[in-house]
Chain A
Amino acid sequence: MDLLKLMKKKAERICIRNNNRSICYQEIYETTKNNQELIRAYTESNKKQGQPVMFTDITLGWKLIPLYLACLAEKVTIIPIDLINSPNQTKKILNSTFGIIVKNAHVDDDGKLTKIDINHKVTGYKELRGVAFVLYTSGTTGSPKGIMLTYDNIINNALQIKQQLQIEQEDRLLIIRPLLYASSITGELMAGLIAGASFVVKKHTESPFHSIKLIKMHQVTMMFLTPSLMFKILQLKNYKLYRSLTKVVLSGERLYKYQYLDISNKLLETIQVFNGYGLTEASPRISMEKMQGTFQEASVGNPLSNLKIKITDKSGKQVSKGVKGYLNVKGPSVMKGYFRQKKLTEQALVDGWLNTHDIAKMIGENLYIYGRADNIFIRNGINIQLEDVEELLRATPYVEDTIVEIVKRENHAFELVAHIVPTKSYDPLLLRKEIRKWDTKFWPDKIKIQQEIPNGSTGKLSRILLKQTK
């Protein structure tokens, strides 16, 4: 699919609303062409070796759109970076991969690329041939885990999402999450572009609460967010401003009954609520449920029609229908693999089947998801590997050893609790100072001193034993 051709057809239609300005598709098309020329000048000579990389600072907001489109057209792999919330992860990525880098100072008010910086040098990566995006989901400690999504992955998934959500060119989509995640890139931006819809992109530095103002100001018809964020927004006093809204798409976390009941009670009856399930490795969407007023615990609706689903036991053997097991998916939106992580890729992808590590079951054609089978915790739609937090804590001078676990709070909310065995030099304030240097997603909600945590047979603190002592 040629996105630029599609855009040309929409020429006079509004593509982006920003403050009081409307930017039409024709302008975005021309800006993209301008960006392509500059990108080509830096990358053309490297293409024989493989595919070059562009790192994009996600605070660019809507200006990422003509930048992403230019990279897609020029076959340059995009690696979005978050310098504000994940400075350490970004540093690690930039130290290990080379390419061109684009930040705010390189782009003018119209989104036109005026100059480019080089991160070390420009080089072509064989493994990135056909890869549109490398999206990093974790990796402050150990090797970063970059998920390679191809052009076909993204377009196939975006087409399915567009169809499921029935996005039309009259729709105006509010993008709240930064264009760093598969959900916002594929499920919002690409699906919307294919439909010829228009966009409002919330600034990265603005509070999610601003969404209310943006909906009113730009007559937004669709918005996409996590259930917990929707729940929080609806607790505000001035939330009743959603008159233009017709669809709310929830994804990134499990939707709980209390959340759904509150959301459906507070939103106007005319607003259709969708519950999406997926993971970055699947571009991300695997299934989508159109909520019909009733709530079925753990239900995420029917899988997308171009995906195959298999539920297996630990050994990889398929279980009977209705029995819980590991969810495996296969289809055109399943990732190419993890960038420069052959072993990890071989573990995740077997004969094209992606093991999601999610516990699931199928009843009829309906998929039910019960959470993770590993130590990944999803907070505000972002994956956190518990071992990463433990490693960060151990690297400080104040923690001898630690176990990090997820604790249920009221209303199914969860928090990240670090049980630590302190060193002699332990000081709570100094430890907090160390934590402030980390990427914010890893900050524990609570720290508990545990002088006597039982050890497992290896001598390491055991998560299971910790639970048994409670």
Chain B
Amino acid sequence: MKIKDRVIELLSDKYCGLLPIKSIHEEDTIIDIGFDSLRFMEFVVLIEEEYHIEFPDDLLDIQSTTTVREVIERLEKEV
């Protein structure tokens, strides 16, 4: 599975998110899709387990402008 698809899956209600996959768009912000900093921590742990990487420090803080696309692009570089 492509990283992009897997990230969206992990952000969905199948894993640690609130919305179904079809409701998550790359241009949505992380906050738009229902994440606060504590919920985002669950996503960080899932990513570390899945890809055996250390989650990038600069992505740990979710800004109000951070989009799903930015998270995907950043993780594509790491993995």
Q: Which A residues have a C-beta under 8 Å from some C-beta of B?
A: 85, 205-210, 213, 229, 232-233, 235-238, 380, 428-429, 432, 435-436, 440, 443, 445-446
Contact = CB atoms under 8 A, between A and B. Distances in A.
Nearest to B46: A235
Q: Which 10 A-B pairs have the closest CB atoms?
A: A207-B60, A235-B45, A440-B36, A237-B54, A209-B60, A207-B61, A232-B41, A207-B37, A206-B61, A237-B48
B38 A445 contact: no
Interface string B59-76: 011110000000000000
B34 A380 contact: no
Nearest to B53: A237
Given A85-B36, A432-B23, A446-B13, 10 more contacts: A207-B41, A207-B60, A207-B61, A207-B62, A209-B41, A209-B60, A232-B41, A236-B45, A380-B38, A436-B31
B9 interface: no
Interface string B21-52: 00100000001101011101110110010000
Contact of A232 (B20, B23, B45, B55): B45
Contacts of B37: 207-208
Given A205-B61, A208-B38, A443-B34, A429 B23 contact: yes
A207 B13 contact: no
B19 interface: yes
A233 B38 CA distance: 11
Q: Tell me whether chain B's interface is mostly helix, strand or loop, or mixed.
A: loop
Given A206-B61, A210-B60, A436-B32, A445 B18 contact: yes
A445 B34 CA distance: 9
Nearest to B17: A445
A314 to B, nearest CB: 35
Contact of B41 (A208, A429, A445, A446): A208
Given A205-B61, A207-B37, A208-B38, A236 B48 contact: yes
A432 B54 contact: no
Contacts of A235: 45, 48
B49 to A, nearest CB: 8
23 contacts: A207-B60, A207-B61, A207-B62, A208-B38, A209-B60, A210-B60, A229-B38, A229-B41, A232-B41, A232-B45, A233-B41, A235-B45, A236-B44, A236-B55, A237-B53, A237-B54, A380-B38, A432-B18, A435-B34, A436-B34, A443-B18, A443-B34, A443-B36
Contacts of A229: 38, 41
Contact of B19 (A207, A213, A432): A432
A227 to B, nearest CB: 13
B44 A209 contact: yes
A146 to B, nearest CB: 24
B13 A210 contact: no
A210 B38 CA distance: 12
A237 B78 CA distance: 15
A206 B20 CA distance: 27
Contacts of B20: 428
A380 B45 CA distance: 17
A432 B37 CA distance: 18
B48 A232 contact: no
A232 to B, nearest CB: 5
Contacts of B36: 85, 440, 443
A232 B40 CA distance: 11
Nearest to B49: A235
A383 to B, nearest CB: 15
A287 B36 CA distance: 31
B67 to A, nearest CB: 15
A235 B63 CA distance: 23
Contacts of A233: 41
Q: Which one of A207, A236, A380 has the greatest number of beta carbons of chain B within 10 Å?
A: A207
A213 B45 CA distance: 17
Nearest to B40: A207
Contacts of B54: 237-238
A233 B61 CA distance: 14
A380 B42 CA distance: 13
B19 A210 contact: no
A384 to B, nearest CB: 14
A208 to B, nearest CB: 6
A435 B40 CA distance: 18
Contacts of B61: 205-207, 210
Q: Which one of A210, A235, A435 has the greatest number of beta carbons of chain B within 10 Å?
A: A235
Nearest to A207: B60
A409 to B, nearest CB: 11
Nearest to A226: B38
Nearest to A447: B18
A464 B77 CA distance: 51
Nearest to A445: B18
Contacts of A236: 44-45, 48, 55
